Structure 1
Amino acid sequence: MEGNRDDLMRVIQSKYAKLSKGQKLIAEFILKQYDKAAFMTASKLGASVGVSESTVVRFANELGYEGYPELQKSLQDIVKVKLTTVQRLELTNSLVNTENALKGVLKADMENIRATLEKINEQTFEQIIDAIFEARNIYIIGLRSSNTLANFLAFYLNLFLDNVRSIHQGYSDIFEQMIKLNKDDLVIGIGFPRYSQKTIEALDFAKSRGAKVSVITDSLLSPLAARADYSLIAQSNMASFVDSLVAPLSVINAVIVSVGMRKKDQVGEIFNTLEEIWKKHDIFN
């Protein structure tokens, strides 16, 4: 990702001398504050440096992009893995205010789901479901904010399958929990910016043991996807300092439902038994 940043900055620097006066102002702003520029509309970026929106669009064209949205996406792909929590908080203050926090975040999450629906590869999805049923054991790992997603997936798959293992950081080393991993197993890795280094190391370990690796992540350029046999891409563009995990959770829901549908008869029996247990032990109010 650092290389991507350097490549774009070098392009801007190499074209700087031939840019118009207004375009040079945009270039200077991006070179100094690309983390903020990445989340500005063309009109807002133009207003910040004192040029028109059309000048911003022409600047993107000069860099070889079809329009400003393509340049903005390149900037976002670079910065989203680099932003610290403090920088995210600063962006939240500029993107979402107290009055529009509810609608702003909900709209951003809706956009993440819409984009995921457009981009996700259905064939890859089916291959991952096949891999789940073919695996001797299934190891699921997602750390830090992705731990919630991993636990959710493991919880439901454990209702249908007898070979699911959830990898946790804390009570023992993650590699100790994967010590029996071999080529007949499947590891499902879940990770979004900022990517957990331990998750990446766990996937490297899985590859070294010959296991199949499936991941749920935000981009084919992510370090998780680089280590995967199958990658499900779920958009997680942030609207605040909080990670947007709505689209990834929706994809995980689809995985759970698809597994359940393939074991429809067994699932019915399992839930009938569970209902009896829940009723007997007053699990629910």
Structure 2
Amino acid sequence: MENADLLVRINQNFSSFSKGQRLLANYIMENYDKAAFVTASRMGHTVGVSESTVVRFAYALGYDGYPELQRALQELIRNRLTAVQRIQLTSELDEDEILTNVLKSDIANLRATIDTADNATFNRVVDELFQAKKVYIVGMKSASPLAQFLGYYLGFVLDNVVTVNASFGDAYESMIRVGPEDLCVGISFPRYSSRTVEALSFAKSMGAKVVAITDGMFSPIAELADYVLLAHSDMASFADSLTAPLSLINAMIVAASMRRRDDVYDRLDQLENLWRRQKVYMAARGTGGGTERDR
């Protein structure tokens, strides 16, 4: 079921709902932003119906249970909420359980990413990394650290990596020579950066192949891509959850390094000697070592 059809489906089926289900339907229609973040028990208490009525309501809408309905609601709103609205919604969380709830949310994102993983597409993307004349990595706003991470570690494997995470004007300058022999890897999650979309659109117009690392096939960068790698990033607060996207990116780095392990070993050995002489890293207390500097 498409998440965009959820509110329409509620309207279409309203006349067939029981009295309790109609109360739930009205509540969700008027407060779907809040309903997406409460338990079935709490929603039932708020509306004045039993928890079992809430569960049956989810079944009546065609979902396998309340958790699936809740995910549909979260997907529906995730592109509409501002940062202020996000933190207002999550302010209702029990402060004593914030750590546990956020960790559980990240675990759920990882599991969902595993369930939807496309190994064939993943392997083709790794192939493209080695076939490209130059690899551009584009990630802005909250995706900027992901782009930096991917670019930094791919730089140990490939000599042709360019990381683009500045303003669009600077992005144009970095990508001015992009062409048909190049690969552009775009990273974007809700709320999607329009600058990232524009940068990928430019790369596409210049004939480059495009890889999208994003949360769904309806993402604006997925529509531009030759290959799409999906990672779930359901939000637990105003800060985006990047756990699953980072894990996916880490897998790309590992896969690429395994293709050229001898070259990577030689390069890292040279760097280790340099880092040691320059005292770049600091050992744990009591084990000796130098002073850590910026990588």
Q: TM-score range by the shorter chain?
A: over 0.9
Shift of 1:119: 1.6
The reply to whether residue 98 of structure 1 matches residue 95 of structure 2 is yes
Once residues 15 and 101 of structure 1 are traced to their aligned partners in structure 2, the CA distance between those partners, rounded to angstroms, is 36
Query: Equivalences for 1:153-172 in 2 at 5 Å?
Result: 153-170=150-167, 172=169
Give the whole-Å Cα distance in 2 for the aligned partners of 1:108 and 1:66: 20
1:4 CA drift (Å): 5.4
Cα distance per residue 1:222-280 (max 9 Å; x no partner): 22212211111111112222111111111111111111111111011101100111111
Aligned to 1:188, which of 177, 185, 189?
Answer: 185
Query: Which shows bigger deviation, 132-141 or 17-26?
Result: 17-26
The yes-or-no answer on 1:282 pairing with 2:282 is: no
SS of 1:82 mapped into structure 2: coil
The answer for unaligned runs of 5 or more in structure 2 is 283-295
| Counterpart code for 1:207 | K
Number of the residue aligned with 1:252: 249
Q: Distance in 1 between matches of 2:62 and 2:258?
A: 47
Aligned residue among 21, 24, 27 for 2:25: 27
Alignment of 1:116-265 (within 5 A): 116-170=113-167, 172-265=169-262
The structural deviation recorded for 1:69 is 2.9
Taking every aligned residue pair, what percent have the same amino acid on both sides?
49
TM-score normalised by L of structure 2: 0.90
> CA separation in 2, counterparts of 1:15 and 1:108?
31
- Deviation, structure 1 residue 63: 2.6
Contact 2:133 2:160 in 1 (8 A): yes
Conservation of the 8 A alpha-carbon contact between 1:181 and 1:211: yes
Matched, 1:108 2:95: no
Q: Where in structure 1 are there 5+ consecutive unaligned residues?
A: none
SS in 2 for 1:219: coil
Return the alpha-carbon distance in structure 2 between the equivalents of residues 182 and 140 of structure 1.
Answer: 14
1:56 corresponds to:
54
Q: Counterparts of 1:171 and 1:197 in 2: how far apart (Å)?
A: 9
TM-score relative to the length of structure 1: 0.93
RMSD: 1.7
Q: Which moved more, 1:232-241 or 1:257-266?
A: 232-241
Q: Report the more deviating stretch, 56-65 or 233-242.
A: 56-65
Q: CA deviation at 1:44?
A: 2.1
Paired position in structure 1 for 2:287: none
User: Alpha carbons of 1:48 and 1:134: their partners in 2 closer, same or farther (altered >3 Å)?
Assistant: same
- The one-letter amino acid paired with 1:16 is F
In the TM superposition, residue 18 of structure 1 has moved relative to its aligned partner by 2.8
- SS of 1:279 mapped into structure 2: helix
| Match among 68, 73, 89 for residue 87 of structure 2 | 89
* Equivalent in 58, 61, 74 of residue 76 of structure 1: 74
Question: After superposition, what is the alpha-carbon deviation per residue over 1:152-204, rounded to whole angstroms, capped at 9, x for unaligned?
Answer: 00011112211100113249432232121111111101111111111111121
Deviation of residue 72 (structure 1)?
2.1
Compared CA separation, residues 264 and 249, structure 1 to 2 (3 A): same
CA distance in 2, matches of 1:260, 1:73: 36
TM-aligned CA distance change 1:222 to 1:148, over 3 Å: same
1:68 aligned partner, one-letter code: Y
Between 1:38-47 and 1:166-175, the stretch displaced more is 166-175
Letter of the 1:56 counterpart: V
Conservation of the 8 A alpha-carbon contact between 1:91 and 1:241: no
Could you tell me whether the CA contact under 8 Å between 1:39 and 1:72 is conserved in 2?
yes
- What is the number of residues matched between the two proteins? 281
Comparing 238-247 with 135-144, greater Cα deviation is found at 238-247
Instruction: Describe the superposition over 1:82-116 as per-residue Cα deviations: whole angstroms up to 9, x where unpaired.
Output: 1111111122222x332122222122212211221
